[in-house]
Structure 1
């Protein structure tokens, strides 16, 4: 046990809490392969608008696309460019499956709230592909299904219960035994899996840039390289001071998720930023690529520290796992991630890795996405717990409804501070170490 613990400790460096990253684009597969997209200039004047959105990721862009249907005066600002944060760094997996166990989720959402949330999970995936079709977003979108796989009794229970639940709801979800799982995924490491035909994949940065282009075409004003510094209330609404200008607005949305800082007092303490790291190989030979997810589904584990992976359109293996917990995400150490990939897929032995990158995922201790009312006409959406492609897109729609005082599928909450938030790196570190240990004995 001590040896395992020592090995796990060596994978992480306890130095300091994550500092604000530089605004350079990462060395990611997505940055290398996405179209350049529009470059949005910096705000360098004082302007007024009805709705201001801070953050040009999926949440902010989706909010703008839905809000512009009811107002012709929407502005988005971002400290970098659309998709610079985790909306352009994630694995591009579109899962309808939430990570919580079935009974735990029922406890989080009692009564009719549970059915509403379950409906929202499927609707969120549909919304992603609907927006792609409606606005002709070129982001390599495919809807070939999504797989959750695992080993050990806990994973078997989770997968069995959820697959039976979805089947009872009439959804096209298939329970796969060990042999079928090995055939469908290309590894013998799992005991069981389920495949949900509703899921799919996309190029996440191209999706972000496509949504930004759609926003611009619909009349949304976007300013890049514009960092919000201060928010104050005025007689008619709100004033946001940026590094080179200021904006007066009637309504305000904060859409910063895992990159939330101290702009709004206490908001950063409602969420835990967790680094997720990805690597991508050079294109695999055809005879190797055909053995890994030959149906071109996306896959993720149900595990203490889950990995997730897919094959892209050029036959690259894109593999994600937990990243650094302390310090900047720029100094990537990927040996543990690549070793994990090789254990699952020994057929890639000798393959060269081409790209490494990471981003911050917004995690909530209660595993619930949060639609927060911060003040009069001020809202925030965050906390997607690793399901950001569909859920952040859906959150944008819900925020637009909330702004218009219409019913929302996600309940509107008041902010709740994470207990002992200042010590969250230690808590996350402990959780991942214990997850690694439990995975060793599954």
Structure 2
């Protein structure tokens, strides 16, 4: 792929979202106070909060804002991690872990507040996020999460099987919990809206300019691309699951401490009003407790946006469409025949313990990776904290649990084998329900 022309995935978001701003490439020598690599949610949020503080900032982006995971995901705004709960986070990180729990608790509201403050039109709906449980035994997960998150002030509620059925329009689940601050957005529209906002605040974004390397020289950070170089006092690396996609040597420690897992999304044709009112009638975002995750939410045109995973070569999109269509008919028989107008994919950065990795990369340099499927809300909130860090806010006042990078052994081999974990998840799911 060349950087001259950016090809977008055949996604619902790309079809429904107005084009982003015209952006220059990085050519020649440039300077900034803070350099950010990556114009996804984290990079754009960091730039936004830096410009609010009057800091000169420039973003170097390999393709276009939102081209990577930030514009390809399902758009669910979820104010938790995928598996670790507050007590797990605090047990690992202590006092800063408790501050990080507070950041997570407020992360969805932070996103919606930023979109409202800057009048970003991203089809946002703060209708709540629901996690139903797929077997009777897993109600213990919901009970634990409600107990722990309630302790830290999150607006969570336990759902009985009857309440879950009424909320979701299906008797496939056995209860669960929901968080009222969650919801969903058009992620590509949010990315492009943030890009326009930071440009309007005076930031610079250089597109189609993959960073080849960065180094510390003469007390300045220098980022090189094919056609240019930019120097700055501070550096933020915000490449997440795509850290190794354009340059294997850019941040190898970050690229190899996460497993980029391909996640497929798809969108049905718009549902009729009569059917839509019987399937998730409150329009909450939903993702359940299956290892092979079941998830769904509506877009602004009443398309049900869902997805899944598939193993092996061949026409994966068509194979997955058939499998997910059967799943939707099983969960919601009233949906009738199911057809999909769009199917697309992108990487999710998974860590071995499902916790994000946040690092100091050197003097005034920071990076993070490991979204584990929770990057939408988390990235916006982390951007604010990273902006504080490069401005010199003391570590005791930050909600950033710093760790050292720990690359996954035999990363290349395990990346090839990672899709086979889907078989394990299916076996576990079926075994538990049985």
Could you state the TM-score of these two structures normalised by the residue count of structure 2? 0.91
Q: Per the alignment, do residues 327 and 405 of structure 1 end up closer, same or farther by CA in structure 2, a change over 3 Å counting?
A: farther
Note the C-alpha offset of 1:369: 1.5
Q: Per the alignment, do residues 392 and 114 of structure 1 end up closer, same or farther by CA in structure 2, a change over 3 Å counting?
A: same
Q: Per the alignment, do residues 28 and 57 of structure 1 end up closer, same or farther by CA in structure 2, a change over 3 Å counting?
A: same
Q: Per the alignment, do residues 144 and 438 of structure 1 end up closer, same or farther by CA in structure 2, a change over 3 Å counting?
A: same
Match of 2:25, SS?
coil
Could you state the TM-score of these two structures normalised by the residue count of structure 1? 0.89
Matched, 1:347 2:330: no
Whole-angstrom distance in 2 between the partners of 1:150 and 1:225: 43
Question: Given that residues 186 and 293 in structure 1 are in contact (C-alpha distance below 8 angstroms), is that contact kept between their aligned partners in structure 2?
Answer: yes
Whole-angstrom distance in 1 between the partners of 2:174 and 2:317: 35
Matched, 1:118 2:101: yes
Note the C-alpha offset of 1:192: 1.2
Whole-angstrom distance in 1 between the partners of 2:109 and 2:359: 24
Match of 2:334, SS?
helix
Matched, 1:223 2:206: yes
What is the aligned counterpart of 1:254 among 237, 243, 247?
237
Note the C-alpha offset of 1:226: 1.1
Question: Given that residues 288 and 295 in structure 2 are in contact (C-alpha distance below 8 angstroms), is that contact kept between their aligned partners in structure 1?
Answer: yes
Residue in structure 2 matched with residue 160 of structure 1 by the alignment: 143
Residue in structure 1 matched with residue 298 of structure 2 by the alignment: 311
Q: Per the alignment, do residues 92 and 155 of structure 1 end up closer, same or farther by CA in structure 2, a change over 3 Å counting?
A: same
Whole-angstrom distance in 2 between the partners of 1:153 and 1:123: 30
Matched, 1:242 2:225: yes
Match of 2:227, SS?
coil
Number of residue equivalences: 422
What is the aligned counterpart of 1:188 among 171, 185, 190?
171
Whole-angstrom distance in 2 between the partners of 1:104 and 1:123: 17
Note the C-alpha offset of 1:173: 1.9
Stretches of structure 2 lacking an aligned partner (at least 5 in a row): none
Note the C-alpha offset of 1:418: 1.8
Residue in structure 1 matched with residue 158 of structure 2 by the alignment: 175
Aligned positions of 1:137-152 closer than 5 A: 137-152=120-135
Stretches of structure 1 lacking an aligned partner (at least 5 in a row): 1-19
Q: Per the alignment, do residues 72 and 291 of structure 1 end up closer, same or farther by CA in structure 2, a change over 3 Å counting?
A: same
Question: Given that residues 307 and 322 in structure 1 are in contact (C-alpha distance below 8 angstroms), is that contact kept between their aligned partners in structure 2?
Answer: no
Residue in structure 2 matched with residue 409 of structure 1 by the alignment: 399
Question: Given that residues 235 and 365 in structure 2 are in contact (C-alpha distance below 8 angstroms), is that contact kept between their aligned partners in structure 1?
Answer: yes
Q: Per the alignment, do residues 108 and 89 of structure 1 end up closer, same or farther by CA in structure 2, a change over 3 Å counting?
A: farther
Question: Given that residues 65 and 195 in structure 2 are in contact (C-alpha distance below 8 angstroms), is that contact kept between their aligned partners in structure 1?
Answer: yes
Whole-angstrom distance in 2 between the partners of 1:405 and 1:332: 51
Question: Given that residues 10 and 343 in structure 2 are in contact (C-alpha distance below 8 angstroms), is that contact kept between their aligned partners in structure 1?
Answer: yes
